[in-house]
A and B are shown apart, each in its own frame.
Chain A
Amino acid sequence: MSAPLLEARGLVKSFGENRVLRGIDVVVPAGSVTCLIGPSGSGKTTVLRSLNGLEAPETGTVRIGDVDLDWAARPDARAVSRLRGQSGMVFQSHNLFPHLSVLDNVTSGPVFAQGRPRAEAQEEARSLLARVGLADKADSFPVQLSGGQQQRVGIARALATRPEVVLFDEPTSALDPELVGEVLQVMQSLAAEGWTMVVVTHEMRFARQVADQVLFLDGGVVVEQGPPSRLLVEPREPRTRQFLQRLLDPL
């Protein structure tokens, strides 16, 4: 069996006195979908941001494809940006560039960072926009779009740099409930196409239907992991059970 595409080992990270990651391992096979779930403050977003160096763990290693990083060795900015180049990211609050058109948002990585020819990048961006159902919005500006459309542009922008892995940080948490579906549908179809995805989410139905594995985090450790059909249905750990119970029945 070939090595997994993404492998993070022993991630440890503190914010001041607060230890948010206490030795976390994440192993993601190519073409699979991994969902990170857990209560707020469990460290799941910090894990995700450690995979592309938006947070710098004190120790631990991250490998994506053929790029390796040992956080304990205090890597310099170039090493971190090499790792970051292996992934794309979709943010909770989309973080689109408000001064650029939708098309320019999507081509920003290929043109400004990767130095690819503009015409070629635009052609590819248009097909990515069609891919997320926004072919007719290329010339709009982010402010003119609904929250769900903005998030789909964010997905197209993340795919445009041709990353090995796409990281999603609670991509639907900031959306009105009726807009959640269109974003999840796009993500589901990406998974079906074979994109490797790591998704921090509270959408248990998405995890259930799309994920290949689910990691339940609490207190900075992976409490339990496994396929969603098992973990979400018959959790072994009391903390997992309690968390899922609260999601099902908030009252």
Chain B
Amino acid sequence: MNAIDWDLVRSSLGPLFQGLVRGTLPLTVVTFALGLALALLVALMRLSGNRLVSGVARAYVSIIRGTPLLLQLFIVFYGLPSFGITLDPWPSAIIALSLNVGGYASEAVRGAILAVPRGQWEAAMTVGMGRVTTLRRVVLPQAARIAVPSLSNTLISLVKDTSLVSVVTVTELLRRAQEIAGQSFEFFTLYGVAAVYYWVVCLVLSFGQTRLETRLSRHVAA
């Protein structure tokens, strides 16, 4: 018997592509953007001299990293209604994934900020910059370069982690594959096509990462 039904492959390419561009990709882009903004905020909170502020940030990172993403998703989607907060699948997915990305990426951002040499802060201060200007003009541009490899990892993981939201009925790539496989019972074929789609997206991102790293380090190595 044939493990792969090539006619089904051809006919499912379109619907699965729709799942990719209408579900997986927008979900990745939106949650990565929100997660990065959150990560920057949390990283700065952890670096704050105020112990309460840094303690809150530390607890947040600890909880996010110490619990499964699937569980976090369940708490937002199935748990919050107990408190009268009922969210649709899409907002639930965006909130849970953004909070997760924010927790992981904040450690990369914090490490990158700390990796900028102290002399850079001092030089910025001696030409008159305050803390905020120094961060914006001197430290964060350099931290961004340092953070690219680990943030790229986060992004590539996120592409695949979005598949988890299929369990709260968000229609993305994996969910589309499940739906079609449920009708045709050609599980290997449908999941195989979905896997190829994920893989191609991650290949493109890896390529983009290399390009970005080269571009950002052009003034660092002679």
Does chain A bind chain B? Answer: yes
Task: Tell me the complex Cα distance, A161–B124, Å.
Answer: 12
A114 touches B128 (CB 8 A): yes
A160 touches B127 (CB 8 A): yes
A144 touches B222 (CB 8 A): yes
Interface residues on A, range: 20 to 34
Q: Give the nearest-CB partner of A93 in chain B.
A: B119
Whether A206 is near chain B, meaning CB under 8 Å from some CB there, is no
Interface SS of chain B: helix
A84 touches B123 (CB 8 A): no
Task: Tell me the complex Cα distance, A88–B127, Å.
Answer: 7
B221 touches A143 (CB 8 A): yes
Whether A197 is near chain B, meaning CB under 8 Å from some CB there, is no
Q: Min CB distance, B47 to chain A, in Å?
A: 16
Q: Give the nearest-CB partner of B130 in chain A.
A: A81
Whether B180 is near chain A, meaning CB under 8 Å from some CB there, is no
Task: Tell me the complex Cα distance, A98–B217, Å.
Answer: 10
B219 CB contact (under 8 Å) in A141, A158, A160, A161: A141
Which residues from chain B contact A113 at a C-beta distance below 8 Å?
A: 127-130, 133
Whether B3 is near chain A, meaning CB under 8 Å from some CB there, is no
Whether B213 is near chain A, meaning CB under 8 Å from some CB there, is no
Whether B122 is near chain A, meaning CB under 8 Å from some CB there, is yes
Whether B22 is near chain A, meaning CB under 8 Å from some CB there, is no
Interface residues of B in 117-139 (CB under 8 A from A): 117, 119-120, 122-130, 133, 137-138
B119 touches A99 (CB 8 A): no
Whether B220 is near chain A, meaning CB under 8 Å from some CB there, is yes
Residues of chain B touching chain A, judged by Cβ–Cβ distance below 8 Å, are 117, 119-120, 122-130, 133, 137-138, 141-142, 145, 219-222
